[in-house]
A = this chain, B = another copy of it.
Amino acid sequence: MMHRSPSEEALYELAELFKVFGDSTRVRILYALYERSMGVNELADSLSLSQSATSHQLKVLRASKLVRARREGKAVIYSLADGHVVTILAQGMEHVEE
């Protein structure tokens, strides 16, 4: 289930990962991308965010490998990176719903 003694560095990286989940704008972006992949403008509009703020946050999410980007013509389409993202969000949601 869980490793016995992770290194200090691993614990630091783990905290860095959770830091990325620890912002409501980013969580909203992740949930929106869970429903379907989207371009930056579409994402910004659907969440009532500025285009700039959305792009900045997507950069953070990309750096942590929580989302992937692919270009489609003029647009850059973002989608969730993998299943871990969904699992972590779901587990967290279970905790807060209690």
Contact = CB atoms under 8 A, between A and B. Distances in A.
How many of these chains are in the complex? 2
Interface in A50-91: 65, 84-91
Contacts of A96: 10, 13-14, 16-17
Give the interface size bracket for A toward B: 35 or more
Majority-rule SS of A interface residues: helix
Interface in A1-19: 1-6, 8, 10-19
A27 B11 contact: yes
Contacts of A18: 18-19, 21-22, 27, 92
Interface of A: 1-6, 8, 10-24, 26-28, 31, 34-35, 65, 84-98
